[in-house]
Chains A and B, each alone.
Chain A
């Protein structure tokens, strides 16, 4: 019951409470897409857009989490294009192991589509169906994109 109320709540209830359970996931995705320095800006801009577009949220098309993450994904892309960001270095907040550095650099060389699927699935922790909803594609497309991404990562890491 509580979940239903939370899903239907964007317009009339407290917007802050409505988005709060998803802030961590939004922050994770924003960090992956824009880097730690721009994370809060991306989340904040995404929240602003979510607020303005809250009346367009349709619970029949997905959960608030999926909807908010889709906005973060879009905001992250706009941020990336606006700033012409180079592939991100390893997140300075994470103690870097050499293997992690190699993996992070390989991740930066994936296509934007593969990168988004990997970020959503592994780093944000979404199920395949949720990733599909965020990306607006079929479940099977996500699976094949993830498989392609893992194959590409294997190749890149072997080359490095």
Chain B
């Protein structure tokens, strides 16, 4: 049955669609020739380069008198913006250009040396100055190429091989650019295409054809003039003891599955395998990303309670990541990455299944009922048939017929059972009176303060989801309503946990 709003939306959408132009196809002149009649879609092959942050190793961390304070079992998460990233190694100052940038018409490209080291292959392209005056080579070219499956106009800047240095090329002299051949790399898909008809778009301008070169990807060095053959890939020095880089990171307590619109709670274990303490001062930042389905967020590590990580010890830090409502748009498995690399620390990651969860739906329905109690909102709450167990803390106080819970008073618990709080112990009223937004999260959680109360025995084998205030300013205003649902997504146990002053 359609309603008036449905009709209005359809009519507007039809007008809107009629006014749209088709998306622009990015065929590139010159390289798209020969494919007439077909809108050539640019398949942009971008290879994500793993950029290892190199921390300036000043080496004095090990001898410091590092303050180590009492470390709680899990350092709680704090909502604090990330500090500025740590400075990376300062690159040498580039020489000032002494002539105009080389343009394509100044140069002639030819294949130079090829070699493999440590499983990585380089291809050298020599760039001879065929002009009448000197020109300056520097910067990254864009690589253009075609294959049977599409057009490539891209580059990943920086190979595993050293860049040639920027400099002037005299008439008749040669510069070069180095390609890393990723067709020999284990992490490049075997089905990758071979690109031919390679040309370079130079920073100085113009297309420079490169004869007979074939590519599986476009990882390039800077343009330059150094004639020395590429050296072995640079082996990064071991991190300095006491530096953040010497820490190892590992994810823990990460749920296997998380529902869109919920908060993923997990822990990061930072371990210090070295013989000297690692001071967390100043508190470094970290970032969390979910791919696909999310976006990177960054924050400051709550390192003050820890102060330092002693030699051979580890500290667990609580983490949170909010999944957007439509985070399941690409469906299925996603990689949750945690990284301190921009601050000079370690990185780690693990897979999470992003899927609509029955328990999250049940929690959302209960919130809906609490905010607007009615037979209709109650009907949306999937309660188990038979008995529903209502618990205060870790003890089930009443087991009721779900029918009586349509009345908010049916959720009342005897009030004498809780030592540190008084008042109405009623999960629905607690939810209704909550200030601000609530947060729905899967799995176990912390209490406030200290650990959460254990679930009642009736919850054994059931799936837990919690509803908590998103921004409780203190523990007295904190609560957690934990639902334990069965395989059919029906609520069997409702546990009310209230914060203590």
Contacts and interface: CB of A to CB of B under 8 A. Distances in A.
A28 B17 contact: yes
Contact of A150 (B6, B15, B19, B328): B6
Contacts of B293: 74
Interface in B5-42: 5-6, 8-10, 12-13, 15-17, 19-26, 38-42
B292 A74 contact: yes
B197 interface: no
A17 B150 CA distance: 10
A26 B39 CA distance: 15
Given A19-B41, A24-B22, A27-B20, A150 B5 contact: yes
B38 A17 contact: yes
A53 to B, nearest CB: 8
Interface residues of B, number: 51
Counting chain A CB atoms within 10 Å of each CB, which of B39, B260, B261, B331 scores highest?
Answer: B331
A23 B23 contact: yes
Contact of A16 (B20, B38, B189): B38
A74 B329 contact: yes
Interface residues of A, number: 62
A103 B8 contact: yes
B44 A39 contact: no
Contacts of A93: 19-21
A134 B295 CA distance: 18
Interface string A68-104: 0011011001100110000000010111000110010
Given A100-B12, A116-B329, A154-B5, A27 B45 contact: no
Given A52-B46, A100-B15, A103-B8, A16 B39 contact: yes
Given A51-B44, A133-B331, 8 more contacts: A14-B148, A20-B38, A26-B23, A28-B17, A113-B260, A113-B325, A116-B326, A135-B328
15 contacts: A14-B149, A14-B150, A45-B44, A48-B43, A73-B329, A74-B330, A100-B12, A113-B261, A113-B325, A125-B13, A133-B331, A135-B329, A136-B331, A138-B356, A151-B5
In the A-B complex, the 6 residue pairs with the smallest Cβ-Cβ separation, listed nearest first, are A136-B328, A113-B325, A48-B44, A27-B23, A73-B329, A16-B41
Interface of A: 11-17, 19-20, 23-24, 26-28, 30-31, 39-40, 43-45, 47-49, 51-52, 55, 61, 70-71, 73-74, 77-78, 81-82, 91, 93-95, 99-100, 103, 111-113, 116, 118, 122-123, 125, 133-138, 141, 150-151, 153-154
